[in-house]
């Protein structure tokens, strides 16, 4: 995917320069808009998102340095190239020190112009890709979630292979911990967008007031504390894929705004009027029954059908028990070296316990159980006594009292809260449960983040 067309704004009071730049850049496939002075150029930049702005340093009233300063504040991701005469090259160098990407000395050829614009575009894309990579590394979930030879997982794999090469919107259904994000990554990696950003957004972790800012970004001064402009996740994902996890948690107001983005393929930052054109594939996921949510009026029907062009259902681990042992062995190999443990495997009795357990936290809970067992086990192998399940297992009811299980659960929650300093999101992820369930259990047991 090449992404959306590159847009360039040329600001110069010399009509011949504006015309020459426009003709040359349009021949290379760029979308070009021209402004006859600095004031008009800034107005255009507030209305529309430009990848590159080419501005003359010397202009009456609003000069090039003033334009540069405003652009640095309001649209810091836009690359600015200064046009300068021989006598003002030193000023152009000063402009680079305060944020201009490069300068073009008069007179300049079409080749020089197109070369500097091409370099500016590459720099902008590299900046966005690096930001998206940092985000992906920060939020990446554990590997191995898609491991499995069960018929259910074979069907999931078939659907992913069919959906990936298209640009169709995908909605992934599945309980917490089944690996919805990894499925979304597999779709992205199998598409023509694989070399562009994959940007995950956890809709369940964002409070209402921050959600719009997270998705769309804001301009400088949009609200108290907005000392500089920010780039939203949709813009960060331009040319690639945005993954909206737990989409059922967003409010009706945000549902309407998201629907508008899908329909119009553009966003406007908070506090701004500039429209950012989008070429983004959307993959969403939910652990809710959105059909019931629609019936209850909690989820928009038109948004549901926009998102679920291709629905994919990820089954819970209890419905594909033949995948439990391969996954457990994978996690043993994954975490053993990091724990400096020379565990070579599980005893037959331990494997039987893993297969009998219902895994309400799904693959995430299985991975956590293997990690805990690695800490508890003596050298060579993991035995039944090394396994501790976070929630009561119906198969174990005859050997474990309900009261003891409650104490085990309470102790596990308190320990996890202490480990993560009371952070609800990280604690819930570690325990393999969703945030709502964790808060309910904390309330029931009289636990609070501060009690950690």
Judgement on whether residues 443 and 385 belong to the same structural domain of the protein: yes
Judgement on whether residues 372 and 430 belong to the same structural domain of the protein: yes
Q: What is the DSSP letter of 289?
A: -
Would you state the pLDDT for residue 35? 93
Q: How far is Cα 127 from Cα 246, in angstroms, rounded to an integer?
A: 28
Judgement on whether residues 290 and 155 belong to the same structural domain of the protein: yes
Judgement on whether residues 262 and 283 belong to the same structural domain of the protein: yes
pLDDT at 398 exceeding the cut of 50: no
- Residue 394 falls inside a structural domain: yes
- Residue 133 falls inside a structural domain: no
Question: Which range, of 83-97, 227-241, 383-397, 421-435, averages the lowest pLDDT?
Answer: 383-397
Rg over alpha carbons for the chain, rounded to the nearest Å, is: 27
Judgement on whether residues 231 and 259 belong to the same structural domain of the protein: yes
Greater confidence, 405 or 419? 419
Judgement on whether residues 296 and 326 belong to the same structural domain of the protein: no
Q: Which residues lie closer than 8 Å to 392 by C-beta, 6 or more apart?
A: 400, 402, 405, 409
Greater confidence, 377 or 80? 80
pLDDT at 96 exceeding the cut of 90: no
- Residue 259 falls inside a structural domain: yes
Contact of 328 with 370, CB cutoff 8 Å: yes
Query: What value does the mean pLDDT take over residues 26-30?
Result: 90
- Residue 395 falls inside a structural domain: yes
Would you state the pLDDT for residue 234? 92
Would you state the pLDDT for residue 437? 76
- Residue 134 falls inside a structural domain: no
pLDDT at 170 exceeding the cut of 50: yes
- Residue 52 falls inside a structural domain: yes
Residue 428 pLDDT class (50, 70, 90 cuts):
confident
* Domain limit, last residue, from 315, 348, 378: 315
Residue 299 pLDDT class (50, 70, 90 cuts):
very high
**Per DSSP, which regions of 211-349 are E strands?**
217-218, 230-231, 241-245, 266-268, 275-277, 281-286, 310-313, 345-346
Question: How many H helices and E strands in the chain?
Answer: 18, 16
Tokens at 333, concatenated: 């190999």
Would you state the pLDDT for residue 81? 93
**Per DSSP, which regions of 88-144 are E strands?**
102-105
Instruction: Give the chain's domain count.
Output: 3
For residue 39, the Cα-to-chain-centroid distance in whole angstroms is 36
- Model pLDDT for residues 53-83, shown as the tens digit of each residue: 999 988 988 999 999 988 988 888 889 999 9
Q: How far is Cα 372 from Cα 246, in angstroms, rounded to an integer?
A: 27
Q: Which residues lie closer than 8 Å to 226 by C-beta, 6 or more apart?
A: 218, 219, 220, 271
Greater confidence, 282 or 343? 282
* Domain limit, last residue, from 315, 350, 384: 315
The domain that contains 377 carries what CATH number? 1.10.8.60
Judgement on whether residues 302 and 332 belong to the same structural domain of the protein: no
Would you state the pLDDT for residue 221? 77
The domain that contains 279 carries what CATH number? 3.40.50.300
Q: For the beta carbon of residue 203, count every other beta carbon within 10 angstroms.
A: 20
Judgement on whether residues 347 and 426 belong to the same structural domain of the protein: yes
Judgement on whether residues 175 and 267 belong to the same structural domain of the protein: yes
Question: Which range, of 155-169, 260-274, 368-382, averages the lowest pLDDT?
Answer: 368-382
The residue segments making up the domain with residue 98 are: 7-128
Q: Which of 12, 229, 213 is nearest to 108 (CA)?
A: 12
Query: What value does the mean pLDDT take over residues 239-252?
Result: 92
Q: Which residues lie closer than 8 Å to 25 by C-beta, 6 or more apart?
A: 8, 10, 32, 113, 114, 117
Ramachandran region, residue 99 (left: φ > 0; alpha: ψ -120 to 50; beta: rest): left
Average pLDDT, the chain: 83
The domain that contains 83 carries what CATH number? 3.40.50.2300
390 burial via Cβ count (<10 Å: 0-12, 13-18, 19+): buried
- Residue 401 falls inside a structural domain: yes
Would you state the pLDDT for residue 397? 40
High-pLDDT (> 90) share of the chain, %: 29
Query: What value does the mean pLDDT take over residues 348-368?
Result: 88
Judgement on whether residues 178 and 221 belong to the same structural domain of the protein: yes
* Length in residues, the chain: 452
- Residue 324 falls inside a structural domain: yes
* Domain limit, last residue, from 280, 299, 315: 315
Would you state the pLDDT for residue 316? 92
Judgement on whether residues 244 and 392 belong to the same structural domain of the protein: no
Greater confidence, 123 or 342? 123
Would you state the pLDDT for residue 261? 92
Greater confidence, 415 or 282? 282
Query: What value does the mean pLDDT take over residues 372-378?
Result: 81
Query: What value does the mean pLDDT take over residues 291-299?
Result: 90
Most confidently modeled of 34-38, 270-274, 357-361? Answer: 34-38
Judgement on whether residues 259 and 360 belong to the same structural domain of the protein: no
């Amino acid at each position: 995917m090449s992404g959306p067309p590159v847009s360039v704004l040329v600001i110069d009071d010399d009509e011949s320069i504006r015309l020459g730049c426009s003709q040359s850049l349009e021949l290379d496939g760029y979308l070009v808009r021209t402004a006859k002075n600095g004031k008009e150029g800034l107005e255009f930049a507030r209305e529309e998102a430009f990848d590159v702005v080419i501005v003359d340093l010397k202009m009456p009233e609003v000069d090039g340095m003033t334009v540069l300063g405003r652009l640095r504040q309001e649209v810091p991701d836009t690359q600015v190239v200064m046009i300068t005469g021989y006598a003002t090259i030193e000023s152009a160098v000063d402009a680079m020190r305060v944020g201009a990407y490069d300068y073009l000395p008069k007179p300049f050829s079409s080749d020089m112009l197109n070369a500097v614009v091409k370099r500016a575009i590459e720099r902008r894309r590299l900046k966005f890709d690096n930001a998206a990579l940092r985000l992906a590394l920060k939020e990446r979930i554990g590997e191995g979630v898609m491991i499995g030879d069960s018929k259910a997982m074979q069907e999931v794999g078939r659907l992913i292979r069919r959906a990936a090469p298209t640009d169709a919107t995908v909605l992934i259904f599945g309980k917490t911990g089944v690996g919805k994000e990894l499925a979304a990554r597999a779709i992205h990696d199998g598409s023509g967008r694989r070399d562009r950003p994959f940007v995950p957004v956890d809709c369940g972790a964002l409070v209402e007031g921050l959600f719009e800012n997270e998705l769309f970004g804001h301009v400088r001064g949009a609200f108290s504390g907005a000392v500089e402009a920010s780039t939203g996740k949709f813009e960060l994902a331009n040319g690639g894929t945005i993954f909206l996890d737990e989409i059922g948690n967003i409010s009706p107001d945000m549902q309407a705004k998201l629907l508008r983005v899908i329909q119009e393929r553009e966003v406007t930052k908070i506090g701004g009027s500039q429209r950012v054109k989008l070429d983004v594939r959307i993959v969403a996921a939910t652990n809710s029954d959105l059909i019931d949510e629609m019936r209850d009026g909690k989820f928009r029907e038109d948004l549901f059908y926009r998102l679920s062009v291709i629905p994919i259902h990820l089954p819970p681990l209890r419905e594909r028990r033949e995948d439990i042992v391969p996954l457990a062995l994978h996690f043993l190999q994954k975490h053993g070296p990091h724990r400096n443990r020379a565990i070579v495997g599980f005893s037959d009795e331990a494997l039987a316990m893993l297969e009998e357990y219902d895994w309400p936290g799904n693959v995430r809970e299985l991975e956590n159980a293997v990690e805990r067992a690695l800490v508890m086990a003596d050298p060579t192998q993991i035995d039944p006594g090394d396994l501790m399940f976070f929630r009561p297992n119906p198969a174990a009811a005859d050997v474990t009292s309900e009261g003891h299980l409650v104490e085990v659960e309470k102790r596990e929650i308190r320990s996890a809260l202490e480990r993560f300093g009371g952070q609800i999101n990280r604690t819930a992820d570690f325990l393999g449960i969703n945030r709502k369930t964790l808060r309910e259990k904390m309330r029931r047991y009289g636990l609070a983040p501060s009690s950690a």
